Amino acid sequence: MTKNVLIGIVAGEASGDMLASHLMTALKKVCPSVEFVGIGGPRMQSVGMNVLFPMEKLAVRGYVEVLKHYREIVGIRRKLKRYLLDNRPDLFIAVDAPDFNLDLELVLKKRGITTIHYVSPSIWAWRGERIKKIKRAVSHMLALFPHEPRIYKDAGIPVTYVGHPLADLLPDMPRRAEMRETMRLPRQTSVFAFLPGSRQSEVSHLARTYIQTAKLILEQLPEARFLVPLVSRETRTIFEQALYDCEAEHLPITLLFGHAQDAMIAADIVLVASGTATLECALLKRPMVITYKMPALSWWLLKDKGYQPYYGLPNILSGRFVVPELLQDDATPVNLAQALLNQVNDQGSVLQLEQRFLALHRMLRQDTAQKAAAAILSYLPV
């Protein structure tokens, strides 16, 4: 392929940045002249993307939070739409972020630009009526999970199951002892990894709860250690302020800049905000407690819209509760501490969970970036 190829691409959060960067790398291997432009994060930029707007502008969740930033987000989409229509990329790749991307895809597809949507919206979990909009907006869907393609085939939407790139990247069994040695953690110490999310709003809503949970765990396990990976300077500042407000600077909590996978590998158990990190934790074969908090109004608007009794990806993909979920009002320090202690002391259940997560891992390992790139190449000029 010798013709210069321009691809518009949008990712809206850290997980999308990871997915997109691997896909972009795979596309560059077969099409070295390809150029990418749009909205992305640091990983996408490192692959050579021309970032018109920073990804963080889109990283808001919940009705109330979106409303607060509505005018700015709509303005960004309008400017990006104008840019793409003026410069007409060979195709457009929307990486997740359906609330932002689908409206953009509607316009681009109508104007003759092929639209690839990478990561199926969770229409099997809630808001299934979106399938009609997806059919109008999307030329081809790339699905990460094996239960998704049937939905799109039944609706007459071209779809390819590509698996999940995390399953390609992560080993079957991480080397826990070596990671603890690297992080200078005693082998006999109970280690808890606390992941409060990648968004500033998530950390703001969970930080104090996590800190109070750590205090309660220490009452029963005085030797316990806590690892808290944070993705940015802003989220670290929020957590540090919460430590100060809770008079908890003395707690054995180590704040990490990134290194979430290292923290999960080293940990006996993980407390994790609902999202892609729950799948990452499962692929690293770690027991976990899934939690989430958001503003009360957002929760009230969202809580009865789901089709399934669970929110976390390990439970959704297993079709049943394999790990606890404690959300919103149930996510109290007392409940979280008890759920974590129950699991960390039950080695038989941990071994069973490891085997279940290993089977899940092998199901999702599909050489994702190459499969996605192959599906996309059929739409590019040769």
Map 3-24 to HEC letters. Answer: CCCEEEEEECCHHHHHHHHHHH
pLDDT at residue number 63: 44
Q: 46 vs 56, 80, 166, CA distance in Å?
A: 16, 21, 19
Question: Residue 92: helix, strand or coil by DSSP?
Answer: strand
Residue linked to tokens 């005693």: 186
Q: What is the pLDDT of residues 312-351, one digit of tens each?
A: 899 999 988 999 999 888 999 999 999 999 988 888 888 9
Q: Across the chain, what does the average pLDDT equal? A: 89
Find the helix packing angle between 333-344 and 200-220, rounded to 10°.
60
Q: What is the pLDDT of residues 104-133, one digit of tens each?
A: 999 999 999 999 999 999 887 777 889 999
Which one-letter DSSP state was computed for residue 380? S
Check if the beta carbon of residue 179 is closer than 8 Å to that of residue 263: no
Q: Where are the alpha helices (DSSP H) in 221-328?
A: 233-245, 260-266, 276-283, 296-302, 313-318
CA 283, distance to chain mean position in Å, is 13
Q: What is the pLDDT of residues 1-55, one digit of tens each?
A: 446 899 999 998 888 898 999 999 999 999 999 999 999 999 999 999 999 988 8
Helix (H) or strand (E) holding 347: helix 347-364
**What domains sit in the chain, N to C, each tagged with a CATH number?**
6-163+366-377 (3.40.50.2000), 176-364 (3.40.50.2000)
Task: Calculate ∠ Cα 338-343-349, nearest 5°.
Answer: 150
**What mean pLDDT comes out for the span 240-263?**
93
pLDDT at residue number 307: 53
Greatest extent of the chain over all pairs of C-alpha atoms, in Å: 65
pLDDT at residue number 215: 96
pLDDT at residue number 312: 87
CA 181, CA 191: separation in Å to the nearest integer? Answer: 13
Check if the beta carbon of residue 213 is closer than 8 Å to that of residue 242: no
Q: What is the pLDDT of residues 64-91, one digit of tens each?
A: 455 565 677 888 999 999 999 999 999 9
Which one-letter DSSP state was computed for residue 57? G
DSSP 174-231: --HHHHHHHTT--TTS-EEEEE--SSHHHHHHHHHHHHHHHHHHHHH-TT-EEEEEES
Residue type at position 67: L
Name the pTM for this structure: 0.81
